[in-house]
Structure 1
């Protein structure tokens, strides 16, 4: 069975731009392999479940193939398959963000003007 370092696989599968960035994220505990924290030198093989907490919610993928080289995105996508639970969670989060109110709408009139600040000061007794 062919195995490869976790940081190298994440780099080849285009989850991270560099191997060192992948190693840093693994060190911070943002990448799990089969539900357990991993180190950058941990070897992954086909059928391993890798959870990458890059966005909210985390992306869970099943390793399908191993590659030592970083290729185009179309080839990198063939190295893994996202789990149905992960896809459903991502779609739910996207729908929640779409339906959430725009935070900027809470500020109806924007910042107070100089006149407004004077009135506020008079009301507060300054």
Structure 2
């Protein structure tokens, strides 16, 4: 089975074309060497996949006949990724900036409410209501 098809079958990539592009860019290695998308995969191969700034390492147990469900993936691969790499994933979640990039258009309702909350004056310095000014 081709490496790009295998990675798609075991759900490391959402589409096969994304898996193919990852192989072409050199993000996929078998036994330490970069591979082309057409490289065949065999049982006991150790695959290293760089995805989202994390180096995942997997060992092939068997080849699936086609794309498998998420619950059945463990029958075909063993995840041997070091814990340090998985801890980097948690750090990346915390280090990301706000969920929206600057300059991507108008603020959403949630953004506007957050901005209003940020600039809201404390209750002690609250301006008098319209009714209060009418009484003066």
Q: 1:32 aligns with which of 29, 54, 74?
A: 29
Q: How high is the TM-score relative to the length of structure 2?
A: 0.63
Secondary structure of the corresponding residue to residue 68 of structure 1:
coil
- The unaligned stretches of length 5 or more in structure 2 are 99-114, 116-136
- Mean alpha-carbon deviation: is it higher for 37-46 or for 62-71? 62-71
Question: Which residue number in structure 2 is paired with residue 107 of structure 1?
Answer: none
Q: 1:79: which partner in 2?
A: 76
Change (3 A) 1:56 1:47: same
Deviation sequence 1:85-109 (CA, Å, 0-9, x none): x2312343246558x77867xxxxx
Q: Report the aligned-residue RMSD.
A: 2.3
**1:49 and 2:46 aligned:** yes
Between 1 and 2, higher relative CO (CA 8 Å, sep ≥ 6) is seen in: 1
Whole-angstrom distance in 2 between the partners of 1:54 and 1:102: 16
Q: 1:46 to 1:55 in 2, by over 3 A?
A: same
Instruction: Please say which structure displays the higher CA radius of gyration.
Output: 2
Alignment of 1:109-120 (within 5 A): none
Unpaired stretches in structure 1, ≥5 consecutive residues: 105-109, 111-126
Deviation at 1:77, TM superposition (A): 3.0
1:35, CA displacement in angstroms? 0.5
The number of residues matched between the two structures is: 99
Query: Deviations 1:15-44 (Å, cap 9, x if unpaired)?
Result: 111211111110011111110000011001
